[in-house]
Structure 1
């Protein structure tokens, strides 16, 4: 997997709890402070993205915009209410649950993986007794990224493999076994490298700590309290809930060639690293609540927002990316990609200004340009 500021599940080579949150949104005209964003969305479609849906929230004002199509066959446009696969944005939900469990005294970020999952991370130089939960959440564990495995990529990302195996169920232990068949990338805590395996393990730890699947804990602790009605953890469900658009991929390294409808797939290949579904309004609500301290006590939120260097212009906390924009504005959030879907959700630290959007194609479109336009443009 290629790691950029827009962090995705799928490699490019493989392809409220407050009154403020509950207050009704007031729609504003597209020309009211979002001209640059609108131009950036149009540019993404001109660059080849089938369609894009975006929602920004600034205080109590909400602005939504769509461009392009949601269905290449019928020409049906995208909807502001589209549900879509959010990929690695799932990681922020998972990290939030782990930090809630720490606040409850049910685990510690300094616990080792072996304390919760004995014998799961071992062999080929992997040692679960040397990796902490904190290192899982901030990607300093050194554990190999299972989506970078060549056989996994051929089976799940390349055209022939995906079309044959798109409905296969893969278990978390199988995904971890793929990773531990490789030597670690580095000794725990000595470097940073994005690895989806970290969050597969984090989901397994949640289940061990609570006796319930991570998906149930996400629903119980985040989705239901925040009334995120468009957000779900699909498990092995292959379809998208309505309303939704089709999702498209080239299933190849090149942005040319045939376009495939990849809407239906079994997201267990992503699991707690990237399987969730949401919409733009829900993502804005979630990140606003999180950054305003409505999901975590101050101590845990401080831990989540303590970052390590990750990539130019950005650093990584616990399931949260801190990004410095060209105009000096700092935003927090996460990106996510999975077949046919590329998403971003970012929010200012005070939670006042939030943006979430989705491209329903995974081979083009400049998401960084959209973010810069919203927070730095006219």
Structure 2
């Protein structure tokens, strides 16, 4: 594991750290630097922005409300949020479709960040919006409106679905509607505290409290050298992708989730019912309800040896969580640079040595 971790650093990653659990055995390691200017090293206990791994926490909080009868999993979203998704679409889109990205609602990010294009429009992209919005405080209702009024990417319930943060911002509003609390309060009380996570929080400001790394965004080589975006207002994603955690807490959460200690067995079974979804990278993946089988596990999704989890990306920071279905083998990984692949003339990301090194790290972590 030490050698595999160092291999990712040598391939070009400034710094990374991870925890692997195999039964009662725990390994933690770190390689590289948390600050390229000072050479301050990364350590395995650092707090980190984990991006869309947050979606698994949000989905768990929603399913807890399904279990209590406050939310109908296959109820139309118009029953709860008629003003946010009006008309026939609100009647056709269900809570389940938001959770598994089959709502057909478009991603709002290209509208909130005009110079950032999503796959496959990367040839027309640019990083200027990142600096423009470093301290912008976005209104989640306005972001949802951007996604709802944008051209639909599919029919409600149609497959393959299309991964869209608009879905999870709506789920955040749904939680607030049915609980009367903020989504941050609901997720903190019912998921984070229930799992006993001491170093995990949904931030209210732009800073990461406690020991942490700087986060270096390359934006496909257009920011050279990569720039630090560790201080950033996370209202652009809110409780759909803003979680701060540690690799130890992430492994603890996914271990408890797959053991049925966060949601009940029937809810967990629903989370593991997958449909094909087009990811933000343009690949078709199997996706459940805030949870999906991880690429590279080489097992059918329902095999007890398959790995489940989620990945996450923010400006400059990335994370990956994967847990074997039986809970006995786990990996949580954090990296402090994102979008290291340069683009070819057609705008497609090109392979980079970091890709192969990360694949080796995951293989060693999963299979020993």
* Alignment TM class, shorter chain as reference: 0.7 to 0.9
Corresponding residue SS for 2:162: coil
Whole-Å separation in 2 of the counterparts to 1:166 and 1:346: 30
Corresponding residue SS for 1:335: strand
Aligned to 1:222: 191
CA drift of 1:122 comes to 4.0
CA drift of 1:150 comes to 7.5
Whether the 8 Å contact between 1:239 and 1:265 is mirrored in structure 2 is yes
Aligned to 2:306: 330
Q: Unmatched 5+ residue regions in structure 1?
A: 1-33
1:106 paired residue among 64, 70, 77:
70
Q: How does 1:12-27 map to 2 (within 5 A)?
A: none
Distance 1:221 1:152, change over 3 A: farther
2:261 paired residue among 294, 317, 324:
294
Aligned to 1:278: 245
Whole-Å separation in 2 of the counterparts to 1:83 and 1:46: 23
Whole-Å separation in 2 of the counterparts to 1:69 and 1:154: 28
Corresponding residue SS for 1:370: helix
Q: Which moved more, 1:324-333 or 1:299-308?
A: 324-333
Number of matched pairs? 337
Confirm or deny that 1:43 pairs with 2:12. no
Confirm or deny that 1:239 pairs with 2:202. no
Confirm or deny that 1:199 pairs with 2:199. no
2:330 paired residue among 342, 354, 368:
354
TM-score between both structures, scaled by the size of structure 2: 0.86
Whole-Å separation in 2 of the counterparts to 1:255 and 1:288: 38
Aligned to 2:363: 372
2:180 paired residue among 197, 205, 211:
211
Whether the 8 Å contact between 2:127 and 2:222 is mirrored in structure 1 is no
Confirm or deny that 1:173 pairs with 2:144. no
Q: Unmatched 5+ residue regions in structure 2?
A: 118-124, 300-304, 341-353
Aligned to 1:309: 276
CA drift of 1:314 comes to 4.3
Whole-Å separation in 2 of the counterparts to 1:59 and 1:313: 32
Whether the 8 Å contact between 1:45 and 1:52 is mirrored in structure 2 is yes
Distance 1:150 1:173, change over 3 A: closer
CA drift of 1:60 comes to 1.5
Corresponding residue SS for 1:98: helix
Whether the 8 Å contact between 2:169 and 2:238 is mirrored in structure 1 is yes
Corresponding residue SS for 1:127: helix
Confirm or deny that 1:133 pairs with 2:95. yes
Aligned to 1:319: 290
Whole-Å separation in 2 of the counterparts to 1:215 and 1:180: 23
Whole-Å separation in 2 of the counterparts to 1:240 and 1:266: 10
Aligned to 1:258: 225
Corresponding residue SS for 1:82: coil
Deviation digits for residues 336-369 of structure 1, max 9, x if unmatched?
Answer: 0001101001101111111101110113333444
Confirm or deny that 1:182 pairs with 2:182. no
Whether the 8 Å contact between 1:146 and 1:152 is mirrored in structure 2 is no
